[in-house]
Amino acid sequence: MELYSVHTGNFKLDGGAMFGVVPKSMWNKLNPADENNMCSWAMRCLLVQDGKRLILIDNGMGTKQDAKFFGYYYLHGDDSLEKSLAVHGFTTDDITDVFLTHLHFDHCGGSIKWNSDRTAYVPTFKNATYWSNPLHWEWAVKPNAREKASFLKENILPIQESGQLKMVEGNGETQLPFSVIYVNGHTEAMMLPRIMYHNRPVVFCADLLPARWHTPLPYVMAYDVRPLETLKEKERLLTEFVNTKTVLFFEHDPGVECATLKQTEKGIALEQTYSLTEIFK
């Protein structure tokens, strides 16, 4: 098995929304905001090569939205899905599986693109099986008012219409070379892949821990539909991650790919940060 970090670009989100109840006087020292209170965040995906399977975990926001949409989220930087795959010697046609942690636009928007004459939506990964789970899929296709702006039907429904959608069933076991951890604080039934790599667990943190700065328990996003549930999930899982020497892979951290944790007198804290290649060199 090989793991590759895949960068699909950066975007901007409101700093207050990303740090929840934490005061700006504190979080602004971590990820300084611009004049509109917006901070830059990565959309970092993970590519898992296992035998003949090439599995992409999440895929960024894509490029099919209109100028008004991108005016809200400021897609920027030199990285793109296609360029990052090419760095590792792959194209979108090589992907055999697309695993979607959840269906918010910045995690699944790259799943679907315009056809060549912009008359219809088609799967970006024409040879891939797309994976979600029944609870989250139902939650996303019938969105609540709080999350409706994040669940865009053009990102979601064409996956099912293509016939390429399959569901992860059960309690965390999958038909893929990793298991999943279900969490329900950010959104219903978000899935965190847990991958054994060089005899060490790696967890793709998705939006449970968007960045290294979200390790302290009170740092919970205002986007979360059940913030107190997120708090409980973080407390339970961070303890587990320390005990199992788990490597955390951050999807949205603008500067850090991976980190390890340590137990301190004041609680669990970051031990060290790494790139994916550094920690497994």
| Per-domain boundaries in the chain | 2-279
As a whole number, mean pLDDT of residues 51-74 equals 94
As a whole number, mean pLDDT of residues 193-200 equals 96
Q: What is the pLDDT of residues 206-240, one digit of tens each?
A: 999 999 999 999 999 999 999 999 999 999 999 99
Query: Look-up: residue for tokens 């799943």?
Result: 111
Query: Look-up: residue for tokens 């830059």?
Result: 40
173, 180, 178: which is closest to 196 by C-alpha? 178
In degrees rounded to 5, what are phi and psi of residue 260?
A: -115, 165
Reply yes or no on whether the pLDDT at 184 is more than 90: yes
Which residues, including other chains, have CB under 8 Å from residue 2's CB and lie 6 or more apart? Answer: 48, 49
Reply yes or no on whether the pLDDT at 121 is more than 90: yes
pLDDT at 108: 98
Which residues, including other chains, have CB under 8 Å from residue 175's CB and lie 6 or more apart? Answer: 166, 168
Given CATH 3.60.15.10, say whether it is the number of domain 2-279.
yes
Query: Look-up: residue for tokens 């993970």?
Result: 46
Reply yes or no on whether the pLDDT at 170 is more than 90: no
Query: Residue 73: CA atoms inside 13 Å, Cβ hemisphere, count?
Result: 20
Reply yes or no on whether the pLDDT at 281 is more than 80: no
Using DSSP, state whether 247 is helix, strand or coil.
strand
Reply yes or no on whether the pLDDT at 165 is more than 80: yes
As a whole number, mean pLDDT of residues 241-259 equals 97
Which residues, including other chains, have CB under 8 Å from residue 184's CB and lie 6 or more apart? Answer: 190, 226, 229, 233
Under 8 Å between Cβ of 152 and 109: yes
